Structure 1
Amino acid sequence: MGDLWENLMLAAVVITVALLLRVFLALVIRRTVRVLADRVHDRNDDDLGFRARVLLAKASGVAADRQRQRVETLGSLLRNVVDVALIVVVVLTVLAIFGVPMGPLIASAGVGGVALGFGAQSLVKDYLSGIFMLAEDQFGVGDLIKVGDLTGTVQEVTLRVTKLRDTTGTVWYVRNGEVLTLGNVSQGYSTAIVDVPVANDEDPSRVQEVLRAALAGMDKEPEFSDQLLEEPSVLGVGSVTAGTMTMQVLLKTGPNQQWGPTRAVRERAQRALADAGVRGPILAGPYGPGSAT
């Protein structure tokens, strides 16, 4: 009878220590999550200038929410891991205190774990990949990403799957363990090359001067100041084919904000070239370029 009470006392001590340890670890995790959630993770690229950093800093509120969501998810995962580990340790310790043979039990658990591991290896792979995606902050809700042949906006991120919505409105569910290559369009900045075709016998220097004059100061205009990180750069001749010389203009914008400035550059270039008398591409007729039909 004395041994029974002694074992009960030891079991009570083990459970009490486990509960205290759980409270302590939960407090540490909670405080760590709070500290990390208050930090805005700076993801600006080192090669961005002051203007680019100022423009990208306007999204600091979104970045803070995203940081908080990511850290809270990892904190919840850590709390679950701590609970499971403590429960397993307490159960095994209490059984050992009461003299239950642990060898067969551990062996059975090992065999069951191996069988479960083979059967659920894809699920474990998905969860591990999801943990690393969240820990490394590879993407977040609202980001435009490319996964294989899919391109879409992230709608939801969980440890097992990522939900995307493409341009047609279709929602795709991508298992995290199946993501081998991933491109995030919403990180840092975006660039775009605008092709401006003109006749191949026009003076390239004159065409470049017309384009530079038409696009000068575009990044300081109110309509584009929040999108363009710098003034559009006229690169020069990109290619020359039969009847066509293509001039190229480089745009550097905030993440996934290149579409509006690209259309504006094409429109301004077309108007400026027409006003300057620069001819468009020479259409090839049945007897050669410029032949009458």
Structure 2
Amino acid sequence: MLLLVTPSPPASPSSGLPDPEKVVQDMTGVCTKDPVCSTLVGMFDNAAWAPIVASAVVIVLIVVLAFVLRKVAHKMITRLVLRTAAKSSISRRFRKGAATDSIDALLHERRKQRAETMGSVLKHIASIVILGTAVLTVLDRLTIPIAPLLTSVGILGVAIGFGAQELVKDFIAGMFMLLEDQYGVGDVIDAGAAIGTVEAVTLRVTRLRDADGRVWYVRNGTITRIGNESQGWSRAYVDVPVAYDSDIVSVRVLLEHLAEELWADPELRESKIVEQPQVFGVEQLSDSSVVFRITAKTLPNEQAEVARELRIRVKTTLDDAGIPMVAG
């Protein structure tokens, strides 16, 4: 039995590497489909090397255009940030005292910080989208198949998404927190897990310091509700218990005069109190006392100081009038 064996062709020394001729043919085919590239080829009198040079020029144009678009996008975002920071959203009904200037300054600073943070995020997103699209376009121009790359990136993204669900949740919660201006640095908030002053805010975590000096790091995705004690204005109130047989009308008149004097105090009016304090009258009745309540609208985080000043003045006023205070 005779076996005929056909000798195999010798292995190419460049086995495993792309064939240069095929690469040139592919780039020529891509170039002929592009009006810009084909126009450049015509300018070079259809020389054999013209498609390569024209493709290189087009790639350079793509890169330059990507950086120009990135620069324009960043300028537009910066302009939007400045415009957002300059807008005033404070209500007209709170503009009744000199202390509202401080509220305006605080709100403007919060708005500026929020806008700058969101601007930074938008700039990063714009850079990734524009430069990523440019890279894929250049790879396509070089006849490098991008379908497997996109498939791999998609699979990797799904895997990372499953492994980093909590991280994604924290970032999304942080984005909405910044957009809605729920709190900012310097605010006193109740985040459920901790109560304290906000020292730092990022898209992932919020750092708080409580009254004992303990620092808390709270992930934004775990915060289900926020109680903000420092947004816009605060309220100080003082309960005044007097003897049950005291003259109710006289006590109320004294407290109203005290509220007017407090409002007339230039130091408090300029830096702490937003509106004239009010006497709500009899707030509570007990077996041994009648409780009046005085309230004052203050700047954020100034309610404790105003309440202390109210207690001192109430005690002095009632002592001068001979009206004793009793335990509630």
Partner in structure 2 of residue 208 of structure 1: 252
Pick from 177, 181, 201: which aligns with 1:137? 181
Preserved CA contact (<8 Å) 2:262 2:277: yes
Secondary structure in 2 aligned to 1:58? Answer: helix
Measured in 2, the distance between the counterparts of 1:215 and 1:65 equals 31
Partner in structure 1 of residue 25 of structure 2: 3
Which amino acid counterpart does residue 93 of structure 1 have in structure 2?
T
Partner in structure 2 of residue 286 of structure 1: none
How far apart are residue 262 of structure 1 and its match? 0.9
How far apart are residue 280 of structure 1 and its match? 2.6
More strand by share: 1
Describe the shift of the 1:79–1:256 C-alpha distance in structure 2 as closer, same or farther (beyond 3 A): same
Secondary structure in 2 aligned to 1:155? Answer: strand
Partner in structure 2 of residue 51 of structure 1: 96
Give TM-score scaled by structure 1 length: 0.83
Measured in 1, the distance between the counterparts of 2:288 and 2:180 equals 50
How far apart are residue 145 of structure 1 and its match? 2.1
Measured in 2, the distance between the counterparts of 1:81 and 1:264 equals 51
Which amino acid counterpart does residue 240 of structure 2 have in structure 1?
V
- In the TM superposition, what whole-angstrom CA distance separates every residue of 1:73-124 from its partner, at most 9, and x where no partner exists? 2222222212222343334334444555555444333322221111111111
Describe the shift of the 1:265–1:115 C-alpha distance in structure 2 as closer, same or farther (beyond 3 A): same
Is 2:321 the counterpart of 1:276? yes
Measured in 1, the distance between the counterparts of 2:146 and 2:72 equals 32
Which amino acid counterpart does residue 247 of structure 2 have in structure 1?
D
Is 2:221 the counterpart of 1:165? no
Describe the shift of the 1:18–1:74 C-alpha distance in structure 2 as closer, same or farther (beyond 3 A): farther
Indicate the RMSD between aligned Cα atoms, in angstroms: 2.7
Describe the shift of the 1:42–1:104 C-alpha distance in structure 2 as closer, same or farther (beyond 3 A): same
Secondary structure in 2 aligned to 1:230? Answer: coil
How far apart are residue 28 of structure 1 and its match? 3.3
% identical aligned pairs = 37
Q: How does 1:155-234 map to 2 (within 5 A)?
A: 155-225=199-269, 226-234=271-279
Preserved CA contact (<8 Å) 1:191 1:251: yes
How far apart are residue 11 of structure 1 and its match? 6.8
- In the TM superposition, what whole-angstrom CA distance separates every residue of 1:243-287 from its partner, at most 9, and x where no partner exists? 12111111111122112221111121122222222233279xxxx
Describe the shift of the 1:63–1:238 C-alpha distance in structure 2 as closer, same or farther (beyond 3 A): closer
Which amino acid counterpart does residue 176 of structure 1 have in structure 2?
N
Measured in 2, the distance between the counterparts of 1:51 and 1:135 equals 28
Which amino acid counterpart does residue 270 of structure 1 have in structure 2?
K
Which amino acid counterpart does residue 177 of structure 1 have in structure 2?
G
Question: Which deviates more, 112-121 or 102-111?
Answer: 102-111
Is 2:194 the counterpart of 1:150? yes
> Between Structure 1 and Structure 2, how many residues are aligned?
281
Measured in 2, the distance between the counterparts of 1:261 and 1:121 equals 46
Measured in 2, the distance between the counterparts of 1:105 and 1:259 equals 61
Preserved CA contact (<8 Å) 2:67 2:131: no
Preserved CA contact (<8 Å) 2:62 2:138: no
Describe the shift of the 1:4–1:70 C-alpha distance in structure 2 as closer, same or farther (beyond 3 A): same
Which amino acid counterpart does residue 23 of structure 1 have in structure 2?
V
Preserved CA contact (<8 Å) 1:37 1:67: no
Which amino acid counterpart does residue 248 of structure 2 have in structure 1?
P
Measured in 1, the distance between the counterparts of 2:77 and 2:117 equals 13
More helix by share: 2
The answer for unaligned runs of 5 or more in structure 2 is 1-20, 31-51
Preserved CA contact (<8 Å) 1:245 1:281: no
The structure with more radius of gyration: 2
Which amino acid counterpart does residue 82 of structure 2 have in structure 1?
A
- In the TM superposition, what whole-angstrom CA distance separates every residue of 1:119-172 from its partner, at most 9, and x where no partner exists? 111111111222222223322222222211522222111111111222222221
Is 2:77 the counterpart of 1:32? yes
Measured in 1, the distance between the counterparts of 2:206 and 2:25 equals 55
